[in-house]
Chains A and B, each alone.
Chain A
Amino acid sequence: MVAMRQRTVDRVAVDQRALSFTRRSIKREAKQTGLKLALSMVDLTTLEGKDSPEKVRALCRKAICPAENYPEFPSVAAVCVYPSMVPVAVEALAGHPVRVASVATAFPSGQAPLAIRLAEVEQAVADGAAEIDMVISRGRFLAGDEKNLMSEIQEVKQACGPAHLKVILETGELETYDRVRCASDLAIEAGADFIKTSTGKVVPAATMGVTLVMLEAVRDYFLVTGKKIGVKPAGGIRTAKQALHYLVMVKETLGDSWLNPELFRFGASSLANDLLMQLVKQMKGKYMAGYDFSEA
């Protein structure tokens, strides 16, 4: 498996291929299906210093029923919060299929001693988080310390217990596709259930190019082992149109079996409302106003 990490990525080819996914024409029923699918894949996220219990409760209400007047629209996949807000989210989502995801391991920098990061993960899981979004130590990875990084991810995976582990690569700080590919392979080998592009705190966040590189890493791992790993682009995906482009990319890279919330997610906060606006536009033929949907 180590040999897989020595791949190099053709940047021009990846960018061209990623661009080609933005040129598909998706209309009418296919568009509606795609929009609903994208909505069901959203991890509704709030990761701010000013997050309060009531803001998280409001977010959870929106996660269960994204648009009050349209109960036929699907719930989102999960609510993503800081560890301190996990108990609030768990209580608010009790009895509903929406999962609680928590960022952990000294998000977003990851710059804390390993013991503290592991304790944070254990606490979030104990509080009821079903999914843990960890950040990798980008500094160590860029310094070439791949072995240590791998063991860190393995220890976090162990601390997660039954919870799913999403490994955030923070591709904006890795800078090259070669490193994104290498980090993806490393995280998958170490036991990640999902690999995630970004924290949303660094620009650039998710791009079509880096997501394609990660999807290809997942594809190659599947072809060797038969095991399916999920992918979550996060940050910078704000419009329904972008979301459809990503779905096309997943379908044409990994196939239909990845087109479900168990294996593909969008980490976003403002995307959900744009998806709702486009869905209602498709149904009623009229453009909606921003105030027609709740902000949370």
Chain B
Amino acid sequence: MAKTQSQNSLGKSKGKRKVDRLPVLKTYKLYLNGGFPRTESGRSWKIEDLNGSTRAHLCRASRKDLRDAVQAAAKARSAWGRKTAYNRGQILYRMAEMLEGKAEEFTQVLQWSQKRTRRHALKEVEAAIDRLVCFGGWADKFPQVLGCANPVAGPYYNFTVPEATGVIAVIAPDAQPLLALVSLLAPPLCAGNTVVALGSESQPAATALFGEVCATSDVPPGVVNLLTGFRQELLPVVRDHRGVDGIHAAVDDAEERRTLELGRAENLKRVRVLDAGAVDWYDPRECHSPYWIEPFLEMKTIWHPSSS
């Protein structure tokens, strides 16, 4: 993929500055199965800033990248589900730590293609960090809230225990590319699901960068997979893929919502599609609820004989 950035630091045409070194620019790639591959299709698209300057070329993921991501996520399910809830919480907290360390880089990337102040971009990064901490905390607590001991007429204990659903596809909206992505990804993740996420289409760089957070946070390979690409191309594949067990999405377009909801008819996917414009992503009362986890759980009821 072409390396693009403002070439000023090369000293090419600005006065008589001497070239002392070439800057090493970042190549943004997909995050798949713990690695950073380019898309198998070889396609990319240009990300420009508000001045029309090219800031990066992003991988345009294909249906085959999505297929590979689902395959990796399905393979990672058992290992992620076997980890203790406490350990999953620690790993989400570690993701928050890594995001904190890269806050400056994320703040810059979030300012590329949106007219927003540095303060506003930083606010989004900080809210995303808090969201990871929140769902890291929920990892070993939501079963107490969403599970229960049921009163039954007989000498039995009767428990309802939540378990992870499986592979969840996350579809992030265009606005708040980092915060919305994290808000949609963290709830199913903390419960033991594995995730294949398609990031914001208009501001995808934050999604590609978030792969670096996952890669340095003890998230096992395949548990989180991040794609950048076009919704029109990939949503029908998500809908029809029988290996995807659930969809957690926030979209603006009614047609996209319909496409995703049809996924229920294919293999009884758990589908939660939010109206992206109606969600206040910064409101902890709205977005820190354990009921963001609940759609991606299967409830198992256990009967056990009691002594009386």
Interface residues of A (CB under 8 A from B): 285-290, 292
Q: Is B260 an interface residue (CB 8 A)?
A: no
> Which of A286, A287, A290, A292 has most B Cβ within 10 Å?
A287
CB distance from A288 to the nearest CB of B (A): 5
- The stretch of B42-50, B94-102, B234-242 in contact with A is B234-242
Residue of A nearest to B64 (CB): A287
Chain B residues in 8 Å Cβ range of A288: 242-243
Interface residues of B (CB under 8 A from A): 67, 70, 74, 237, 240-243, 266-267
- Say yes or no: A290 contacts B241, CB within 8 Å: no
Chain B residues in 8 Å Cβ range of A287: 67, 70, 237, 240-243
CB distance from B41 to the nearest CB of A (A): 14
> Which of B74, B241, B243 has most A Cβ within 10 Å?
B243
- Say yes or no: B243 contacts A289, CB within 8 Å: yes
- Alpha-carbon separation in the docked complex, A77 to B182 (Å): 49
- Alpha-carbon separation in the docked complex, A288 to B240 (Å): 9
- Say yes or no: A286 contacts B243, CB within 8 Å: no
- Alpha-carbon separation in the docked complex, A287 to B67 (Å): 8
Chain A residues in 8 Å Cβ range of B237: 287
In the assembled complex, 22 residue pairs joining A and B whose CB atoms fall closer than 8 Å, in A order, are: A285-B240, A286-B240, A286-B241, A286-B242, A286-B266, A287-B67, A287-B70, A287-B237, A287-B240, A287-B241, A287-B242, A287-B243, A288-B242, A288-B243, A289-B74, A289-B241, A289-B242, A289-B243, A289-B267, A290-B74, A290-B243, A292-B242
Residue of B nearest to A287 (CB): B241
- Alpha-carbon separation in the docked complex, A271 to B240 (Å): 23
- Alpha-carbon separation in the docked complex, A289 to B67 (Å): 10
- Alpha-carbon separation in the docked complex, A290 to B74 (Å): 9
Residue of A nearest to B74 (CB): A290
- Alpha-carbon separation in the docked complex, A289 to B240 (Å): 10
Chain B residues in 8 Å Cβ range of A289: 74, 241-243, 267
Chain A residues in 8 Å Cβ range of B74: 289-290
Residue of B nearest to A286 (CB): B240
- Alpha-carbon separation in the docked complex, A289 to B266 (Å): 11
- Alpha-carbon separation in the docked complex, A286 to B266 (Å): 10
Chain B residues in 8 Å Cβ range of A292: 242
- Alpha-carbon separation in the docked complex, A144 to B202 (Å): 67
CB distance from A63 to the nearest CB of B (A): 24
- Alpha-carbon separation in the docked complex, A285 to B241 (Å): 10
Chain B residues in 8 Å Cβ range of A290: 74, 243
Chain A residues in 8 Å Cβ range of B267: 289
- Alpha-carbon separation in the docked complex, A176 to B243 (Å): 41
CB distance from B268 to the nearest CB of A (A): 11
Chain B residues in 8 Å Cβ range of A285: 240
Told that A287-B240, A292-B242 touch, could you supply 20 new A-B pairs with CB distance under 8 A?
A: A285-B240, A286-B240, A286-B241, A286-B242, A286-B266, A287-B67, A287-B70, A287-B237, A287-B241, A287-B242, A287-B243, A288-B242, A288-B243, A289-B74, A289-B241, A289-B242, A289-B243, A289-B267, A290-B74, A290-B243
CB distance from A281 to the nearest CB of B (A): 9
- Alpha-carbon separation in the docked complex, A42 to B93 (Å): 47
Residue of A nearest to B66 (CB): A287
Chain A residues in 8 Å Cβ range of B67: 287
Residue of B nearest to A285 (CB): B240
CB distance from A25 to the nearest CB of B (A): 13
Residue of B nearest to A290 (CB): B74
- Alpha-carbon separation in the docked complex, A285 to B237 (Å): 9
Chain B residues in 8 Å Cβ range of A286: 240-242, 266
Residue of B nearest to A281 (CB): B67
Residue of B nearest to A280 (CB): B242
CB distance from A23 to the nearest CB of B (A): 14
- Alpha-carbon separation in the docked complex, A290 to B244 (Å): 11
- Alpha-carbon separation in the docked complex, A292 to B266 (Å): 13
- Alpha-carbon separation in the docked complex, A285 to B240 (Å): 9
- Alpha-carbon separation in the docked complex, A36 to B268 (Å): 30
- Top 5 closest pairs, chain A to chain B, by CB: A289-B242, A289-B243, A286-B240, A287-B241, A288-B242
- Alpha-carbon separation in the docked complex, A246 to B237 (Å): 29
Chain A residues in 8 Å Cβ range of B243: 287-290
- Alpha-carbon separation in the docked complex, A239 to B67 (Å): 14
- Alpha-carbon separation in the docked complex, A289 to B243 (Å): 4
CB distance from A291 to the nearest CB of B (A): 8
Residue of B nearest to A288 (CB): B242
- Alpha-carbon separation in the docked complex, A292 to B242 (Å): 9
Residue of A nearest to B242 (CB): A289
- Alpha-carbon separation in the docked complex, A69 to B100 (Å): 51
- Alpha-carbon separation in the docked complex, A262 to B267 (Å): 39
- Alpha-carbon separation in the docked complex, A287 to B237 (Å): 8
- Alpha-carbon separation in the docked complex, A234 to B270 (Å): 40
- Alpha-carbon separation in the docked complex, A41 to B187 (Å): 45
- Alpha-carbon separation in the docked complex, A94 to B243 (Å): 36
- Alpha-carbon separation in the docked complex, A292 to B241 (Å): 12
CB distance from B170 to the nearest CB of A (A): 18
Chain A residues in 8 Å Cβ range of B70: 287
Residue of A nearest to B240 (CB): A286
CB distance from B234 to the nearest CB of A (A): 12
CB distance from B266 to the nearest CB of A (A): 7
- Alpha-carbon separation in the docked complex, A290 to B72 (Å): 12
Residue of A nearest to B266 (CB): A286
